A and B are shown apart, each in its own frame.
Chain A
């Protein structure tokens, strides 16, 4: 198990190297060029040339790449051209926000998805089953930004139940030791701030969690349907075990394996979804920051953030693989 984990972690190195190279070449192939992007308004050809020299942008690409790489291993991704602050500092600021949002979205998706999928399978062919199947189809089909806009329009703008944007009410003075606002409120004993943060999370989390929810419902349902017809379940039933015990020990444990895979894959989905959701809700996280970086061609931010997100994605999937062993002892990874 440990060996497996180490091997997978080592695999991170070539993956990130390949990705960084791809990113590096791709970003530089975009029209405009980093120097022009940096200088912005009223830049003359001379100042562009000066900046290119200053930053070594006129050097061969492999020299530039090497410099980028050797700084990146020290977690130095340079400064954001947009905000003038170190990219690493921007990561520390925005990642907790997106982590909190993604966690809320996952709690929403898993918390509703697994029970719904399970009961849909148990009541196969019932109205609940039909509803969950068609509902999940809709969930996958509706684009995230559209759902976000609709949720915001109906529940914030029209009904006024939830705030329209942001992470907290500026009128509430709260401290943020961790950057996870809900947790911060609990730590600092400011439950009002926690509640406010939750209210700000609800709509974005629903919008972001909709697709994972739909997928989890479908996979859970399909998986449970498979499992309930297995011999060992029928044996258990024949033995006269309690329904609850069967569900817990035999059905869910076996059915959850593919669901865990889906949850792991959703981590990536959550990050790309966050770009849209956070932009719609002006939620100050990674997604919105990347969106702004794209619009102003902020190369340092794009390079740094995409690399770190990729690394996190690989790590999350490693954790998912490791969790297989916990869920199903037969899948002890070596």
Chain B
């Protein structure tokens, strides 16, 4: 008896509650922006950030947020890779390339009200340099390791001497950074999110360096990167709801042109089609990682598609220690046998351009006169005949389960290539492996004699492309050991005169393309989608876009 009554009462209460809340929701829920009239921009990425501390991450979802909240001494020009002033209004390198003097901008404040001065800059550099234990792991401070190569006290004896050797605040606005050896990639690297300057007060108060666990599975125990990321950028941090959204607001005392929107929200929608549908349904204003297959659909639906300048390269790699890839004429024959224009037309979204060398044309050091390998099956057959190689079997690998900006569909590429190769007399032996970890492992350890791979640039310097590939013996390319190319790239890295440096990289590119250690074939343009009424977004080749110029209607 009592149960019945309770049931009835519960049902009534439930209905009432629903009814009441329903009454509260008469409007459509799309709250407009505050007094500034700037409004709110909601942008969807595919994953949650890891932590909002530039020194500790290398993933795009984290760096996207970091780029709005933090700034470095220098930055890449809007939409390009040239270095321009940011927190430093000017800089000067000594003749020997070892001392870099940065003059800081005046009147810059951190979001916590602290002033930016040279002490703060040095504090950040010293913090990174003095990382210990877990913080030195390549999985944590990847970019410091890549650019600087070592720490004050290396945990791993295999690490070398750090490129960075010290920082001195000679006066309030002058930070002098000394290097242990000259490096021309240093300045470009400083534009990376990994080298952005955080408020020393916040770093200390919120224990940015409190970390436990292991290098591969670190556990960040402080709250700086989760709840109190404090930089000087156009947006300041408001809140982070894990797995769901990060809220930022315009920073009123920003030193430069203030952010156009009042509020910027990065939301997480892991599934590609779900991102597209959320945009179509008006739940978000834009999203990244547009599936090439959706581009046309969105464009006809009245949405804007913006393309990042191609800052990647897809290539066929060879291991020169495995026959027949040790034979130059065979490598040339393969390059002439494949109709790459056809592959780009068939498998790539609009905007993809044919590659002639292992770096994109936007970058200085790109050479317009390298040896190119046009589609010419007859020439390929001649080269095969001249090579004297009789076993024309090609063990050709491609990855499964993966979409990369430079390779939307690896298997589709592989199939077209195979058809062309077999047409000139090669026998292609198919090999596949899941991308992660098997395929990457196999290519890095020399298990794939001929393979499809590519590279997305990290910073605007040729060193990040051809330096990574060909400055030293690289297991990916087998026993590829070409002292002439190595020496040229070493020389280029040490050169501090920009023009001379560009010329050296051009020479290196010519040498590389004569030697054909692999065949670069495409630079592809990743797309970003926005609804109508969003404007001012400038796609960046390195994906380090600032959202401060974006407006919403």
A-side interface residues toward B, CB under 8 Å?
36, 38-44, 47, 51, 54-55, 79, 81, 83-86, 93-94, 107, 152, 156-157, 160, 163-167, 169-173, 176, 182, 185-186, 191-192, 194-196, 198-199, 248-249, 253, 279-282, 284, 288-289, 292, 326-327
Contact = CB atoms under 8 A, between A and B. Distances in A.
Contacts of B284: 170
Which range holds the interface residue count of chain B? 35 or more
Task: Choose among B24, B214, B440 the residue with the greatest number of A CB atoms under 10 Å from its CB.
Answer: B24
B504 interface: no
B281 A156 contact: yes
B441 A169 contact: no
A289 B270 CA distance: 11
Given A38-B217, A42-B440, A171 B21 contact: no
B216 A165 contact: no
A171 B437 contact: no
A191 B20 contact: yes
Interface stretch (B75-83, B236-244, B319-327, B339-347): B236-244
A172 B214 contact: no
A40 B437 contact: yes
A204 to B, nearest CB: 13
B441 A42 contact: yes
B444 interface: yes
A43 B436 CA distance: 9
Given A40-B437, A163-B281, A198 B21 contact: yes
A182 B42 contact: no
A41 B282 CA distance: 35
Interface stretch (B103-111, B272-280, B463-471, B528-536): B272-280
Interface string B180-217: 00000000000000000000000000000000011011
A306 B438 CA distance: 27
Given A42-B441, A194-B21, A195-B21, A166 B216 contact: no
A164 B30 contact: no
A185 B283 CA distance: 20
B243 A93 contact: yes
Contacts of A176: 241
B4 interface: yes
Contacts of A186: 17, 21
Contacts of A288: 270
B388 interface: no
Dominant secondary structure of chain A at its interface with chain B? helix
A171 B220 contact: no
Given A170-B267, A192-B31, 4 more contacts: A44-B445, A165-B271, A166-B278, A173-B247
A191 to B, nearest CB: 3
A58 to B, nearest CB: 15
A220 to B, nearest CB: 14
A326 B3 contact: yes
Interface centre among A160, A171, A282 (most CB of B within 10 A): A171
B40 A171 contact: yes
21 contacts: A39-B216, A44-B441, A44-B444, A81-B217, A83-B50, A83-B243, A84-B50, A84-B218, A157-B280, A160-B281, A165-B277, A166-B267, A170-B244, A171-B30, A191-B25, A195-B29, A253-B3, A282-B269, A282-B271, A284-B268, A326-B3
Contact of A248 (B4, B281, B436): B4
Contact of A79 (B20, B217, B270): B217
Interface centre among B40, B50, B242 (most CB of A within 10 A): B242
Given A157-B280, A164-B274, A169-B283, A192 B217 contact: no
A84 B220 contact: yes
Contacts of A167: 244
Contact of B265 (A79, A152, A171): A171
B243 A284 contact: yes
Contact of B219 (A79, A94, A166, A248): A79
Given A107-B14, A157-B281, A173-B247, A79 B213 contact: yes
B29 A196 contact: yes
Contacts of A40: 436-437
Contact of B18 (A36, A166, A198): A198
A166 B4 contact: no
Contact of A282 (B220, B270, B280, B436): B270
A288 B436 CA distance: 21
Given A84-B219, A171-B265, A192 B27 contact: yes
A163 B440 CA distance: 38
Contact of A163 (B40, B213, B244, B283): B283
Contacts of B22: 195, 198
A292 B265 contact: no
Nearest to A163: B283
B24 A192 contact: yes
A172 B21 contact: no
A107 B50 CA distance: 36
Contact of B437 (A42, A84, A157, A192): A42
A237 B305 CA distance: 71
B48 interface: yes
Contact of A47 (B30, B216, B218): B216
A51 B216 contact: yes
A55 to B, nearest CB: 8
A284 B216 contact: no
B294 to A, nearest CB: 13
Q: Across the A-B interface, give the 6 residue pairs with the lowest CB-CB distance, nearest first.
A: A191-B24, A195-B25, A194-B21, A164-B277, A170-B265, A170-B267
B245 interface: yes
B244 A166 contact: yes
Contacts of B277: 152, 156-157, 164-165
A172 B4 contact: no
Contacts of B267: 166, 170
Contacts of A36: 437
A198 B283 CA distance: 15
Contact of B30 (A169, A198, A284, A326): A169
A282 B244 CA distance: 10
Interface string B1-21: 101100000000010011011
A191 B21 contact: yes
Contact of A185 (B21, B243, B282): B21
A84 B284 CA distance: 27
A321 B278 CA distance: 43
A160 B18 CA distance: 22
A192 B243 contact: no
B436 A192 contact: no
Contacts of A165: 269, 271, 274, 277-278, 283
A126 B267 CA distance: 50
Given A86-B219, A326-B3, A164 B278 contact: yes
